[in-house]
Structure formats: C-alpha cells, structure tokens
Amino acid sequence: MTRIAAVHGVLPPHRYAQSEITDALATVCLPSGGDGGADRTDRAVLDRLHRSAAVGTRHLALPLERYVELGGFGQANDLFIEHGLRLGEQAVRGALDRAGIAPHEVDLVISTSVTGIAAPSLEARLAGRIGLRPDVKRVPVFGLGCVAGAAGLARLHDYLEGHPGQVAVLLSVELCSLTLQRGDARAANLVAGALFGDGAGALVAVGRDHPRHGENSGYAGPTVSATRSRLYAGTERALGWDIGDTGFRIVLGAELPELVRLHVGEEVRSFLAEHDLKPPDVTGWVCHPGGPKVLDALQETLGLDAGALGPTRSSLARVGNLSSASVLHILSDILTPGPPPPGTPGLMLAMGPGFCSELVLLRW
C-alpha cells in the first residue's frame, strides 16, 4: 500500500471577507457595476448567491483592486504562471520538508491545474529551483478540474504499486480568481465568483518498500488501500469550461446536487461495500467542497451525521472552494491535530467535469 508521507497546503497572502469580494465582483461582472436601474435585480441576485455560498473569507492571488484592471486571457495566464510558480514551490518544499525527503529522492511528479496553461508545465519550471533530478518523471494533468486532487493521488498510488521503493509527489495549483469572466452576469459565473478561491497543495507519498513507509517512519499519514474512478454518461454539460477568446468560461449546471443524489451516493456505498464497509464506518471524510448544496446532497444521500463533513464545511468557510487543491488542504486539516484512530478507514472523495467522481480509500 502507498503511504502518504506528508501533505502541505499554501495560500496566497491577499485575504478578504466575502462581503468585500461581493462588492468587487459587482463592479467586474455586472452591467454598470450593478448600481442602478435595471441592474439592481442583478446586484440582488449577486448578493443572495454570495450570502448563501457558506464562504466567510478567501485568499486571492492578486490584491482585490487589480482584478478590475485585468486585460484579456493572455495577461491572466501570465499571472497564473508567475503566481502559480511561487505557490507551487512553497507547497512542494513544505511537503518534502515535512516528509524528511530530499528533492533529489523524488522519482515522479504529477502536477494538476485547471485554471491556467503552461508549456513547459509548472513542475518542469520548478524542477531546477527545487532541486529535482534531471531524470524525474513528470505527468502534468489538465482538464480533471476539482476531481484532480483525488484522481492525482489515485494515479500516484497506481504508479507506486508498480514501483514500491520510490517516492512520488502530487502538486496542485489552482488560481480560480484569474478565470473570472468580466461583464458576465450569468448565474454560473456569479456562483463561481461566490465559491472559488486560490491556493496550492502538495502531497508526498512512498511505496510499500520505501524506508519511510513503516509505522515508525515518524509521520502519521494514512495509507491508500484502494481507488475507484467513474464517469457518468450523459452529464458532460454539467460541469467544465467553455474556452474562448476571453479564456475559461465556466459551465456549472444547477443539476449538480441532483447528480450527487442519483449517482455519487450509490457509488460511495458500493465502493465501501467492496471492502466490507459502510458510510458510518468511515472516521475521516476528505470530501471536496463543491458548494453547500452539493454537500447537503451528499450528506443526505449517505445518511451522514452533521459532523462527518465538518472539516470540508470548515475549509469552504475559511478559504472557499480551491478546486483540485481543496482535498489536500482538508487532508492536512484532518491530520494537523492528530489523525483519526489508527487502523480505521478514511475516504477521499471528489467530483469533476465529465461528470465524474474519484474515490480513494484510506487507512489511518
């Protein structure tokens, strides 16, 4: 089994209350700033969406006033590379330091983002700065969206099962604020503006034959027992991007909570049943914070008690939805005061474009 040797989340320095972001987005997204006449209805909708998002504060890559000045997609993507490299370096260095593993020991890096494009990719640009070996294997991933944190861990586990003496790193960098569409008063864009924040995370894992895999390795990270990936037919327009001249235009269907009820709940139950488990047996839910309605649907369909998704709801309130980086931050939050009881099961769960889900069974 793969051992998670360390996980480390980082956030950009610019932190704002939800109300401050709401006022700024009214200027950026609504006609005439939403200040008068026919635009008052749009401002009322924006206010309602932001109040109901269950988000208290968020961290942004740029100072809030800079977003009004942003030009086209090219400028936003240049800023993604600049700030993404800074956050990505902090995340990887922090995770390696926690694991007690030197950069030259890393054999594989999987990097993921859905909020910017870079070629060379971020991990290639970081390799020399961090001290990765010239022969390190790299797998940059784009397009998995919010599911990529869980899917990245699952694919990292697949690799380490075949290379049990090696070290692998997962890096997620998501600067969601740089994808916001100016002058776009669609409900999907306003909901995205209410939920998503910026952040990065990195996870270090070792195979079963690595010296740091054992229980006496000095780190209380869980092991990965099993994984499952699933695509749900006919749901391609539920979540994703429409990419055009202005960059990433979000597709965010109102049917997402119902898709969770129809598909994801049963997926989780059948996956756990394969391992003689039921939802109440799980002692740590590392669940992606898709939004309050999605979390309510998941809690309802799985019959979870009010505290089961507490770490997820807390993360959503403190930093917003960080896309693929969220599950790494939530895992770090769960481990920080001390993990759940040893030997008990945990479950990492995320959903993304496709519409798809990814499940990772953990053992604390």
Catalytic residues: 146
CB 87 within 8 A of CB 111: no
The first and second tokens of residue 222, run together, are 């869980």
Phi, psi of 23 (to 5 degrees): -65, -40
Strand order in the sheet with 167-175: 137-141, 108-112, 167-175, 198-206, 2-10, 223-231, 356-363, 345-352, 284-287
Which residues, 6+ apart, have CB-to-CB distance to 220 below 8 Å?
Answer: 335, 338, 339, 364
Please tell me whether residue 185 adopts helix, strand or coil conformation: coil
The first and second tokens of residue 99, run together, are 């694991």
Q: To which residue do tokens 């099993």 refer? A: 226
Phi, psi of 118 (to 5 degrees): -145, 130
Whole-angstrom distance between the N-terminal and C-terminal Cα of the chain? 12
Establish how many alpha carbons lie within 13 A of residue 243's alpha carbon, considering only the half-sphere containing its beta carbon.
Answer: 8
Give the angle subtended at the CA of 175 by the CAs of 170 and 178, to the nearest 5°. Answer: 155
CA–CA dist 114, 94 (Å, integer) = 22
Do the bridges between strand 198-206 and strand 167-175 make them parallel or antiparallel, or are there none, so unpaired? antiparallel
CA–CA dist 115, 257 (Å, integer) = 23
Q: To which residue do tokens 């800023």 refer? A: 79
CA–CA dist 176, 189 (Å, integer) = 12
The first and second tokens of residue 279, run together, are 């939802």
Establish how many alpha carbons lie within 13 A of residue 58's alpha carbon, considering only the half-sphere containing its beta carbon.
Answer: 30
